[in-house]
Amino acid sequence: MLDKIFKSKKKIKEEEIFSPLTGQLVPLEQVPDPVFSEKMMGEGVAVIPEEGVLVSPVEGEVVQVFHTKHAIGIKSVSGLDILLHVGLETVELNGEGFTVFIKEGQTVKVGDPLLNFDISFLRNENKEIITPIIITNYSDKIDEIVHVDQQAVLRGENLFVCSLR
């Protein structure tokens, strides 16, 4: 019965992506890693975090928690695949400096805590803390993204609005 109710809902036309971090917004093209800056993974933005708290940018389901704790994948209610990648080359830390609060298959809403990370530790390990927020299935799902026009962002503030196909 519930399946019929949910399937009969009108198709979502746009989805807002909210900031999972407090910090400075950076265009993806300026991320010092070509995998992100050349948009090989997808479209999005990056944030240079001011505090080590990462929350969900959307309502959806956690589909991947990397065993190294540095990255999380979420499928939003409209079907967007979102990758949150804390820092650059942080995979090499094998989870050190990260505390994860969620697990795969868990439902999350905007603002739910996903993980904490120790910015001082990451810097001491010579890791970039810039954090890309990527829609990996952008070309399949999105017609247009409208980014906010600001430099600083607070957790929970709008990052961009996606017009869906």
Q: Provide the 10 A C-beta neighbour count for residue 82.
A: 24
Structure tokens at 25: 């917004």
> Closest by alpha carbon to 28, among 102, 135, 117, 103?
135
How would you list the strands of the sheet with 98-100, edge to edge? 53-55, 113-117, 98-100
Give the strand pairing for 53-55 and 107-108. unpaired
Report how far apart the first and last C-alpha atoms of the chain are (Å, whole number).
27
Distance CA 119, CA 46 (A): 16
Site of tokens 């093209």: 29
Is-catalytic flag, 85?
yes
Which residues are the active-site residues?
Answer: 85
